[in-house]
Amino acid sequence: MRRGRKRHARAALAWLLLTVAFGLLIGCSDEANPPAVLPPDSADSAAGITDDGVLGEANDAAAKPFVIKTAQTRMGASTGAFYEIFVRSFYDSDGDGIGDLQGVIDKLDYVADLGFKGIWLMPIQPSPSYHGYDVTDYYDINPDYGTLDDLRRLTEEAHKRGIKIVMDLVVNHTSREHPWFLDAAGGTGSKYRNWYVWAEDRNLDTGEAGPWGQQVWHKRGDSTYLGVFWEGMPDLNFDEPAVRRELIKIGQFWLNQGVDGFRLDAAKHIYGDFASSAADPKTSERNVEWWQQFRSGMEEVNADVYLIGEVWDAPHVVAPYLDRALDSGFNFDLASLLIGAARMERAPDLAGVLNRMYETYGTRSGGSFVDAPFLSNHDQNRVMSELAGNVDRAKMAASLLLTLPGNPFVYYGEEIGMHGAKPDERIREPMPWSASGDAEGEANWEPSYHRQPGVSVEEQLADPDSLLNHYKTMLKWRNEEPLLGDGGIAAFPIANSGVAGFIRVWDDDMALVVHNMTGDAQVVDLQANGTVPFARIAERSKEGTSLADGKLELPPYSSVLLKP
């Protein structure tokens, strides 16, 4: 994902960030951000992308030419869609009610058949909490989940199927039950005392609030320690060189077990501890400097290591982390945009939004970042609950997600429309594999509060029109059309607020993607802004889609990919 690496045969090719211009516009779904207008140029008459970056064709002298101006910008190469798994809730191989690593192995064919090329494992290390984000041993596997041998078998079996494994790594803090912290709490004579932040040792003000106004100082005996997220999660001290050396050693250990990279929890909170300093650019610089050091250590073991960070903030805050540190940052702003568009059945300005982001990311990363779009994760309400149970809208949210650049991430169960809303336990419920709910392999570590009729893998695999099979269709498109992962994106204005259109281009390949976000059939005049080269339907999500004489007919809630 970084400069000079080869993720696949075409990774050396430049991505294309596109600026689109049309002569004589008749309208756009986002009137506040219309594309620039360029005058027709009779010289732009050759079909395809020419040496000067111009695409266009006019059938006769009176026809308005459709023109795309392209500006090449280096970006990293995508590797495919990732599937986020909460092991505890996924599949139980031994009948104890708790999902485990062998259960993930047992379901690798399911993940591969869906079309995923990667798996993100939520925390799998020992922890006193059900979620695992407070680690007590960085060199072992939670015994509820299995053993190191199980993990090694999982990575081997996944790799046989062309699936990469990324594991959650939580280094901002440990558990208060970690041996390091227990020793450090004993007093200033502890070897590990300076591995944590103690107010008394530094004469720090314990009255200062955390980044979102929370209490961050907690008592332990006669001492007071820093724990930004919770008293059970004491923060590590990254000013201590021994801490940095140990965490790099830990990352290298897991790479040597066969994992391909890490999802890095709370990546912007390494130094972002207080309300007064969280937004300070120097805080970001210190965070980035650590992740650059971490990346360097990981590349000693695996030059192609994939690092994706949780930096839940605006693009200008995310961008510095992509400078020789992280490959990707989860695109939280985009997730809200996609869910909102599906809910309102309105076309979002995806090309405009993404190209502004990508310009920022590309500049800071030297062109080596990879976007990481998603709809939901383990910290957010599930898509189906956000969309009030509307399966058609959930399909359109998935269609938007899976036709955008980068490595998209899908939370387990979203492909079958699991419901779930806060508190956290209710967005992390056991995966429904069977209609009955009591079949072999179903986890039951907690009751399924949100379980719905018809929402199981068994039922949806048997239904060709199910949400699960829609995900399979869209992932198939993505895997068969490399430009959907690696291509640039450009606007294609459509004078219908319920129909989204954008162009994807990679090298000498291009496609027009159109989504009917609404429950009504729609007809789109593709020639409204000039003669276009997209003359055939390469992929369609529904029967009844047709293209004739430049008129594209779309059934309700449907998607199409057009090629020249």
Q: How far is CA 134 from CA 174, 249, 259, 293, in A?
A: 5, 19, 20, 23
Measured between alpha carbons, how far is 301 from 309 in angstroms, rounded to an integer? 19
265 is catalytic: yes
**Residue 446 corresponds to which tokens in the numbers above?**
């907690």
Measured between alpha carbons, how far is 119 from 449 in angstroms, rounded to an integer? 26
Q: How far is CA 249 from CA 55, 175, 244, 286, 296, in A?
A: 51, 19, 9, 20, 12
Selection from 52, 63, 71 nearest residue 23 by Cα: 63
Q: Report angle CA 526, 529, 530 to the nearest 5 degrees.
A: 85
Task: Please give the helix or strand (H or E) that residue 524 lies within, else none.
Answer: strand 522-525
Active-site residue, selected from the candidate residues 92, 310, 371, 539: 310
Active-site residue, selected from the candidate residues 44, 134, 144, 265: 265
**Range list of H helices, 179-324:** 179-184, 199-202, 241-256, 281-299, 315-318
Sheet holding 546-548, edge to edge: 522-525, 551-554, 546-548
Measured between alpha carbons, how far is 275 from 277 in angstroms, rounded to an integer? 6
How crowded is residue 457: how many other Cβ atoms within 10 Å of its Cβ? 20
* Cis bond before residue 423 (omega within 30° of 0): yes
- Residues assigned a catalytic role: 265, 310
